[in-house]
Structure 1
Amino acid sequence: MTRPTRALLKWSNLRHNYRKAREVTSHEVYAVIKSDGYGHGMVACANALSGEADGFAVACVDEALKLRGAGIRQPILVLEGAYDAEEWEQASEHHIQLVVHHPQQLKDRAAAELSDEVAVWLKVSSGMNRLGVKLEDAPEMIARIRNDRGLILRHVMSHFATSDEADTSFYEEQKRRMTDHAWPVSLSLSNSASVIRGGVTGEKVMRPGIMLYGSSPCEDITARDAGLKPVMTLQSALISVHDVKAGDTVGYGCTWAAPRNSRIGVVAIGYGDGYPRHAPTGTPVNVAGKLCQLVGRVSMDMITVDITDVPEARIGSPVELWGELVDIDEVARLAGTISYELYCRLTQRVPRINLQ
């Protein structure tokens, strides 16, 4: 029997979630598929959206080149821009759009020999203070870009620091800082949380990421409330079932003691597959269609689940760790992380099975 752990990828749900983003705007939506499509497979995501997405956004030129090598012809934006002159030349050759977030990148461009014009997006730091030029320095950067015959200034962009939080006061302040300014080109501002909140009036390109995969980054709006559907369902099966007496402990460190005579199921998945080691007792796991709880510590290759109230569960019974029946955002919250990390940490040991 093949190890039952696998990730089912339902591409119709990716398209559904992209369309939910499109409902917010009559303008463009670039699908963010960096970090191997948030663990879903970057090229597979691009192919699934090839007939719908206005463009794609990735983190680095290497990712953009991989898409071009796979035959993806739609616009591709590199969110971190070029690292050196060679990458400027690669972007020119392969018609890749670049973010400019620091003056050093324009120095690198001056050392590059471009074979064609490069479209650039100027990134402005409106409060995140990670990447981006300061608002007061933006006019000079814009002038330098527009005076370069090898560059085309396509958009001005920024990134929100708190659009996922229930308190939207700083999110509103960042929007104001960007929309009150008279820019010579159109804006691109909204990430997933901002899209879910309705976007920003007047912007011309939205950049949803995590919502495309069926997860909501918002503290106060669930994926279900936002009308999103999970693309990935992480499955496995029971490989052992046994009884323990009240007071018996389970797993490393004896951290869980049975409060009653209990029935324990062992599931073939662990942190070696990317399931979070810090998931605590009580994390939801669906066994044979019924909600159960993780008990004890997560091991490298296995977890243990209390199946006392699922008498029909037996060796081979299906288990869902997250997806259609178990909310990945809840699993992430209990493990002290976010769904982004759970998706991205899923290891190559877990086969990806493409559906629809």
Structure 2
Amino acid sequence: MSRPIMAIINQTALQKNLSIVRNIASRSRLWAVIKANAYGHGIERVWKSLSYADGFALLNIHEALLLREKGFQKPILLLEGFFHPNDLTILHRYHLTTIVHSQWQIEALKKAHLSSPLDVYLKINCGMNRLGFQTKDVRAVWHQLQKSKNVGMVTLMAHFSKAESVQDVTESMTKLAQASKGLNCNISLANSAATLWHPRTHFQWVRPGIILYGVSPGGCLKNISSSGFLPVMTLSSKIIAIQRLVAGSQVGYSHNYRANRTQKIGIIACGYADGYPHHAPTGTPVMVAGSMTHTIGAISMDMMAVDLTTCPQARIGSLVELWGNNVRINDVASMSGTIGYELMCALSSRVPVTIE
């Protein structure tokens, strides 16, 4: 028998989440963001369930080519653009859309020998200061692109650094409006948070990512609980040992948990080498045999301990949910001082994954 840990990907939940986003942004076309190997879910596992989207947005050219080889014919957007002028031949051959965020990319486009133009997304820096042209330069850059025979449709794109803030969104949109005044173009601004909370940002294209996987972009379940989104990934394992402690017994590395009474604990086959957060403190929620309980002591590489006081029915072999429908990944992340994005993306390759 193999080690009992497992991740389950719920295709029905994925399809439902996409449908909910469709309804929220019903007047916009939709890029399904599948970067970071579909946020840890696996592009090959999820792309068919998300193929109702108008296109896929990702980072890696090799992942884009995989989708083309699988038969996906809709648009594919490269969210960091191309990294070398030679990449343009591949983009052209496979009909990929690229972000342009730097002057060297424009020069490469001008010099490329292409038989037909590429559609591009012009990235604007509205204050996040990662990628993109300054707002004062947008009109000049726009006209450079329009004059190039290798450039087809140009869409303006920006990214909100704090989409939960009305003020931040308003300021960014004001900058964009000033920069794009008089330009006749499509616009793509809305990530998951903006798609959910700021309808005025939807424009022609929205770019939902984390919300497709049933996780709140704001880190709080109440932000999405009324919308019907379902978690797509469940991380589960089983109890592999039970220990009975007396008062004063210590648990795990560094003995950072000490029992103050007689206590039964379970040892779970899951640790930080599986992708569970090493910094999860005592008290992080876990479900054992259908009852809620919590971790105790330090998370080890391969195992963790949980309190079985509220789970008298627990036995060796009892099922454990680390996150999923009952234990929400946002709660585990919050307790651990991180975000749900990181936990999903950190799922280890040694964890078997099944599709349901």
After TM superposition, is the score higher than 0.5? yes
2:190 partner SS:
coil
> How far apart, CA to CA, are the structure 2 residues paired with 1:53 and 1:236?
33
> How far apart, CA to CA, are the structure 2 residues paired with 1:217 and 1:174?
19
TM-fit CA distance, 1:256: 0.4
> How far apart, CA to CA, are the structure 1 residues paired with 2:131 and 2:111?
22
Q: Look up the match of 2:169.
A: 171
Q: Look up the match of 2:197.
A: 197
TM-fit CA distance, 1:201: 4.9
% identical aligned pairs: 39
* Deviation larger for 149-158 or 244-253: 149-158
What does the per-residue CA deviation read over 1:129-183, in whole Å, with 9 as the maximum and x for residues that have no partner? 111101111111111111111111331010000013xx43112211222245423
TM-fit CA distance, 1:219: 5.2
* Deviation larger for 168-177 or 201-210: 168-177
> How far apart, CA to CA, are the structure 2 residues paired with 1:102 and 1:278?
38
Structure 1 residues 284-303: aligned runs within 5 Å: 284-303=285-304
Quickly say closer, same or farther: Cα 1:60–1:200, change in 2 above 3 A. farther
| Amino acid of the structure 1 residue aligned with 2:306 | V
Equivalent pair of 1:93/1:116 in contact (CA under 8 Å): no
Equivalent pair of 1:329/1:339 in contact (CA under 8 Å): yes
Gaps of 5+ in 1: none
Q: Look up the match of 1:3.
A: 3
TM-fit CA distance, 1:317: 0.3
Quickly say closer, same or farther: Cα 1:154–1:44, change in 2 above 3 A. farther
* Deviation larger for 216-225 or 112-121: 216-225
- Establish whether residue 83 from structure 1 lines up as the match of residue 83 from structure 2: yes
Q: Look up the match of 2:124.
A: 124
Equivalent pair of 1:61/1:81 in contact (CA under 8 Å): no
Structure 1 residues 254-273: aligned runs within 5 Å: 254-273=255-274
- Establish whether residue 61 from structure 1 lines up as the match of residue 61 from structure 2: yes
2:273 partner SS:
coil
Equivalent pair of 2:219/2:330 in contact (CA under 8 Å): no
Equivalent pair of 2:190/2:202 in contact (CA under 8 Å): no
Q: Look up the match of 1:29.
A: 30
> How far apart, CA to CA, are the structure 2 residues paired with 1:113 and 1:242?
69
TM-fit CA distance, 1:263: 0.5
> How far apart, CA to CA, are the structure 1 residues paired with 2:124 and 2:306?
48
**How high is the TM-score relative to the length of structure 2?**
0.95
What does the per-residue CA deviation read over 1:33-72, in whole Å, with 9 as the maximum and x for residues that have no partner? 011000001122211122x111010013232122222222
What does the per-residue CA deviation read over 1:256-299, in whole Å, with 9 as the maximum and x for residues that have no partner? 01122111100001111111111111100100011111001111
Equivalent pair of 2:194/2:201 in contact (CA under 8 Å): no
| Amino acid of the structure 1 residue aligned with 2:170 | E
| Amino acid of the structure 2 residue aligned with 1:261 | T
Structure 1 residues 1-356: aligned runs within 5 Å: 1-25=1-25, 26-50=27-51, 52-164=52-164, 167-180=165-178, 181-182=180-181, 183-201=183-201, 203-218=203-218, 221-355=222-356
> How far apart, CA to CA, are the structure 1 residues paired with 2:115 and 2:90?
9
Equivalent pair of 2:195/2:201 in contact (CA under 8 Å): no
> How far apart, CA to CA, are the structure 2 residues paired with 1:313 and 1:90?
55
> How far apart, CA to CA, are the structure 1 residues paired with 2:91 and 2:191?
24
> How far apart, CA to CA, are the structure 1 residues paired with 2:93 and 2:22?
30
Root mean square deviation of aligned Cα: 1.4
Aligned length: 352
| Amino acid of the structure 2 residue aligned with 1:335 | S
> How far apart, CA to CA, are the structure 2 residues paired with 1:169 and 1:226?
24
| Amino acid of the structure 2 residue aligned with 1:9 | I
TM-fit CA distance, 1:202: 6.0
TM-fit CA distance, 1:315: 0.3
> How far apart, CA to CA, are the structure 2 residues paired with 1:108 and 1:340?
34
What does the per-residue CA deviation read over 1:67-102, in whole Å, with 9 as the maximum and x for residues that have no partner? 222222121000100111111111001000000011
> How far apart, CA to CA, are the structure 1 residues paired with 2:115 and 2:41?
34
> How far apart, CA to CA, are the structure 1 residues paired with 2:108 and 2:14?
37
What does the per-residue CA deviation read over 1:299-340, in whole Å, with 9 as the maximum and x for residues that have no partner? 111010011221110000000000101010010111111111
